Amino acid sequence: MDVAVDIGNTNLKTFTCLPQGNAIHRSWGIPFVTKNIGDFVLQHLFRLDMPTGRADLRMSAYSKPITWRIIQTGRLDWTILKAEILKIRPKDKFKQITHKQIPLEIDVDYPAKVGIDRLVAAFSAVHKYGESPKLVVDAGTAITIDVVQNGTFRGGAILPGLFMTSQVYPNISQRLPLVPIPLHPDTENATLPAFPGKNTENAILNGLYWGTVGAIRQFYDRMLSKMDGLSLILTGGDAAYLLRGLSTVFPLGQIEFCDTLVVEGLVKLPLSR
């Protein structure tokens, strides 16, 4: 059994491939995780809550060694997580995914400096949706917009995420309030801001939301003139929220949404590289 672990700036996500062929995706906020790593591993990470017909399957009771495939882009040190897991499951194996495991050419100035999450998302998009050119958007703490074509990662753009951008407004002017934005998972049912905004708060929300939608569309249009059959692949914590706005400016069927794109890609990577 393989378990993919994505340690980000905001969330820790896992994707577990079970022996029966099923899969489980879980997510926890990083501040919650770091309060007590040992308790988190025992009480939450090891509880898959997947009915097997007899009882819930728990990793602590799984007899064979588990392979943990891990990427880390946030501050939580993955080796601390590893140490706590080994206290309970000393035979488990661990693989920190690096650039060497990504079966893509990396056509940028400094390949080693590209975020590993961006590369895994690009690989996963190709593996899941085919070889046609893609714009891969991962909307999380930061929003990354990357181009992958002909098995090559060609770089892209990095924007601040919706939440991070919202924190800037009070620093621009004392008259601009800190406007709360919907956070995942509440974003799926949140009302989209109506333009034009009729008050300062709504005007800020318009700038945050529709400005981001417009930026993604702009990058797509710039590449569409160079790449036939370009598709948009959307993932990340704010992806479902942005999908609703993007669906109003993209033709039906041109956007693929996958909340588990990065962690799915982790379990599909060939580790022999």
Domains of the chain: 2-96 (3.30.420.40), 101-268 (3.30.420.40)
Instruction: Please check whether residue 91 is in contact with residue 60, taking contact to mean a CB–CB distance below 8 angstroms.
Output: no
Predicted model pTM: 0.90
> Residue 170: what residue type?
P
pLDDT on residue 54: 46
Angle CA 194–198–202, to nearest 5: 60
| 272: Cα separation from own chain's centroid | 24
**Catalytic residue check, 117:** yes
Give Cβ neighbours of residue 249 (< 8 Å, ≥ 6 apart): 213, 217
Catalytic residue, candidates 6, 117, 146, 259: 117
> Tokens 């004392």 map to which residue?
174
The stretch 124-149 carries a mean pLDDT of 95
Average pLDDT, rounded, for the chain:
89
pLDDT on residue 214: 96
* Percentage with pLDDT > 90 across the chain: 64
Instruction: Please check whether residue 235 is in contact with residue 139, taking contact to mean a CB–CB distance below 8 angstroms.
Output: yes
pLDDT exceeds cutoff 50 at 71: yes
How far apart CA 232 and CA 64 sit, in angstroms, is 39
How far apart CA 230 and CA 228 sit, in angstroms, is 6
Query: 87: how many CB neighbours lie within 10 A of its CB?
Result: 10
- pLDDT digits over 1-17, tens only? 889 999 998 899 999 87
Per the structure block, which two tokens stand in for 51? 């009915």
